[in-house]
Amino acid sequence: MELDIQAEVLSTETVKPSSPTPSTLGTWKLSLLDQLSPPVHIPTILYYATSDADNAEKIKRMSTRLQASLSETLTHFYPLAGRIKDRSSIDCNDEGVLFSLAKININLFDFLRMPRIKSLDKFLPRVSHGVEPENATVQVAVQLNIFASGSGIAIGVYFFHKMLDAISMDAFLQCWAAIERDGDKETILQQLDFTVGSGLFPPVEAVRSAEQYLLKSHWVVKEGTVLSFIWKCAMAASGKPTKQSVLACAVNLRPRMVPPLSVYCVGNMAWQAMATSMLSDEDEREKQLSNLVCMLTAAIAKVDRDHTQGLQGVTRFRKVSSFWEEMERTYSSESLEGPVTTYVASSWCKLGFNEVDFGWGKPLWVSHSGGKFLPLVPNIILMDSGRGGDQIEAWVALGEHEMHILEHDAEFTSFATLNPSIIP
């Protein structure tokens, strides 16, 4: 029987930094890569088994502690408590972030045995997606979800993409968790750097606004093969005899810098690698996958140290202009069969989300959202599997018709389990 999941929001508070941000840090400069990031919130939800919320008093104590540790975390991540000022800066005005408390009507373990993907948005805070102007939009919003019968909790978080990529999101969560459990926060705080992004990638004042998805990722060969396989099957689901499409895959620039940057360098530090495919039904299926892997690997390889250096100096405006021109050609071009399909992809694998410990142990599962606020183009996000082992979770967003075909593709389902149980 399908679970009827309901979330009752009990309260919503504004949490501000525990110490005022000094006036000398009143303005935080966005980097060029921040400017290129879309004005959307990125969701993540962490699920924990704990008995620390099995009565009203414990729930109140947990909520109070989490708000206090969040407040202290914001003192160190002070730009996140501010608001977008203009195209090139954030006003670090300490207006704060949102913190909601919600009661869920089902048992956590019942949910994890039969997760309903479309219900995941109920575990996320209520934010105005694209309704409010950017200068009124919160950078971070949190919802603490208390599951029935004291079975566990989930922490749902939205991060505003204009300032953070997935690696910086994890750094924030790791710091918050360390403060909450009285852990070794100093190791993180000593490495935090909010200036390197705008210093290495100075903003361009005249960056054009457009909807594009410069997503953030960590790249390894296994993930590239999984992405290529999903790309191949998604192209087949499009129903076109000639599968002309583009996979725009995010590449983390931190390890490609000279010298390499720490994961605690906060901000958007990624670039899109664009792999273009033109494969027909006559191509051998095995050759298709090997071709796609080669195309994607070659595209990733182009985002090298020379590329990152080109984004830092006086050539950055020419680089950005070329990027926009390529994006415009990609999204507006058509093949003989119609518009070229573009897929965007990122990987959160091995970033550390499944290691975030607030004092209740590691999360049982880390999920994305249920798709209420879908991206404008087909999207693939890879995450570490909650089932452990060598498995990878792929969060795939396609049009309804294409998704129906993909879910019934024999080759795809021979390698993929759709919406699996997280626990036995």
Using CA atoms, how far apart are residues 95 and 141, in angstroms rounded to an integer?
12
Task: Extract the runs of DSSP E, i.e. beta strands, from 192-337.
Answer: 242-252, 270-280, 334-335
Q: Give the DSSP letter string of 7-67.
A: EEEEEEEEE--SSPPPGGGSEEEPPHHHHHS-S-EEEEEEEE--STTSSHHHHHHHHHHHH
CA angle 172, 177, 178 (to 5 degrees): 100
Structural domains for the chain: 7-191 (3.30.559.10), 221-350+374-415 (3.30.559.10)
Q: Could you tell me how far CA 84 lies from the centroid of its own chain? A: 19
pLDDT in tens, 291-343: 899 999 999 998 888 878 777 766 666 766 676 676 666 656 554 455 678 89
Taking the model in full, what pTM does it have? Answer: 0.87
Q: Residue 340: what pLDDT?
A: 76
Question: Which one is catalytic: 52, 91, 94, 357?
Answer: 357
Strands 379-384 and 341-347 come out as parallel
Q: Residue 405: what pLDDT?
A: 96
Q: Residue 201: what pLDDT?
A: 61
Q: Could you tell me how far CA 235 lies from the centroid of its own chain? A: 24
What is the arrangement of strands in the sheet containing 379-384, beginning at the earlier edge strand? Answer: 270-280, 242-252, 341-347, 379-384, 392-397
- 408 annotated active-site: no
- 161 annotated active-site: yes
Q: Residue 185: what pLDDT?
A: 80
Using CA atoms, how far apart are residues 178 and 351, in angstroms rounded to an integer?
16
Where the chain has pLDDT below 70, the residues are 1, 129-131, 196-221, 240-243, 279-287, 313-317, 319-321, 323-324, 326-339, 371-376
Q: Residue 360: what pLDDT?
A: 96
DSSP assignment, residue 332? H
C-alpha distances in Å from residue 63, one per residue of 20, 73, 145, 356, 373: 22, 15, 10, 18, 27
Helical H segments across 124-165, by residue range: none
Q: Residue 376: what pLDDT?
A: 61
Question: Which one is catalytic: 34, 41, 76, 161?
Answer: 161
H-run or E-run covering 233 = helix 221-237
Q: Residue 208: what pLDDT?
A: 39
